[in-house]
Amino acid sequence: MKPLKVLLIGAHGRTGRLIAQRLHDEAIPFRAMLRKSAHRSEFAAMGAEIVLGDLTNDFSHAFDDITHVIYAAGSAETESVHEQRAIDRDAVMHAADYAKRRRVQQIVVISALSAFYPERSGFALRHYSRMKREADQYVAHRGVPYAILRPGPLSDEPAHGAIALAGELTKHKPEVSRADVARVALQCVTSGINNRMIAFVGGDEPIDIVLDSLRLESAHTFRHAAPTSL
């Protein structure tokens, strides 16, 4: 069994940096994928390996010796449909392909709650949400153990340590902090929650308890059935 090593894609993003900090705090070896060399020192100071790469090009070199992947990149709110297609869909699909080729043990993808309902999303979110949904479907069928996170609207508030599970029909969507998303992502890695799509918003159910129950269900699902449908 290879020693745990996480590839963090989108390490310099707002959620990515919080995940990097948690990886560092928990002494989990990781490689930060950055597109700008200027951001190296922040991650080198955490003891991370650095790999430079642009998600619109081949980035398979980042996957050497990796056991787990966390995809925390995303197109920025202002970016074009072209960027959304490239970063929120195609690069996620490529990451799943590279992960499959390298026999990575798990890929965790940060998607979005709106991937449940692109058609009902406002104009600004519709294409982005469709790209997220297509990427999620691809990952779920690629044959790499996965956890797909679909958080609702994100905030930069401090970690609350609690969330509420959500779904396609959830109407009330309180913001969830990026710090809590980071915690969920990392716990998927450390507790081996596989072949699950986890949709959530801000709430008051302790993350440990929510994920523990999903882990038990996940073990059951893994033994008896196919992955959760999306």
Ligand X SMILES: NC(=O)c1ccc[n+]([C@@H]2O[C@H](COP(=O)([O-])OP(=O)(O)OC[C@H]3O[C@@H](n4cnc5c(N)ncnc54)[C@H](OP(=O)(O)O)[C@@H]3O)[C@@H](O)[C@H]2O)c1
Residue closer to ligand X (CB basis): 29 or 174: 174
Least separation in angstroms between residue 155's CB and ligand X is 8
Nearest distance from C-beta of residue 198 to ligand X, angstroms:
12
Q: How far apart are CA 151 and CA 175, in angstroms?
A: 9
Closest CB to ligand X among residues 72, 144: 72
Shortest distance, position 156 Cβ to ligand X, whole Å? 9
DSSP string, 149-185: EEE-SEE-PPP-SEEEE--TT------EEHHHHHHHH
Nearer to ligand X by C-beta: 113 or 211?
113
**Nearer Cβ to ligand X (156/217):** 156
Q: Smallest gap, in angstroms, from Cβ of residue 64 to ligand X?
A: 18
Instruction: Give the binding site for ligand X (CB under 6 A).
Output: 10, 12-16, 35-36, 54-56, 72-74, 76, 87, 110, 112, 151, 153-154, 178
Least distance (Å) between residue 63 CB and ligand X: 15
Beta bridge partners of 204: none
Closest approach, Cβ 83 to ligand X, in A, equals 7
Nearer to ligand X, 39 or 215 (CB): 39
Residue among 34 and 193 whose Cβ is closer to ligand X: 34
